[in-house]
Amino acid sequence: MSPAKILIGLGLLLVVAGLLWPVLSRLGLGRLPGDIVFRREGFTLYVPLATSLIASLVLTLILWLFRR
């Protein structure tokens, strides 16, 4: 695959994730116990550790099933 196709695919994936984010947040993703939030006046840092791990496991399972 050419780098251009990979970048286009990643861009499309980000757009889809952005569009689905409101739906996923209603399911509780993004507010899991392992997610870290630092709040200060005028600044918020959000580190979604648990959400990232769950997303990684789900995507790994899906890709593993498609390769079989």
Say how many C-beta atoms besides its own lie within 10 A of residue 32's C-beta.
Answer: 14
For the chain, give every domain's residue range. Answer: 1-29, 31-68
Nearest-angstrom CA–CA distance, 14 and 54: 17
Q: How confident is the model at residue 32 (pLDDT cuts 50, 70, 90)?
A: confident
Q: How confident is the model at residue 57 (pLDDT cuts 50, 70, 90)?
A: very high
Residue predicted with more confidence, 30 or 41: 41
Residue predicted with more confidence, 49 or 9: 49
Residue predicted with more confidence, 38 or 25: 38
Q: What pLDDT does 45 receive?
A: 93
Model pTM score: 0.59
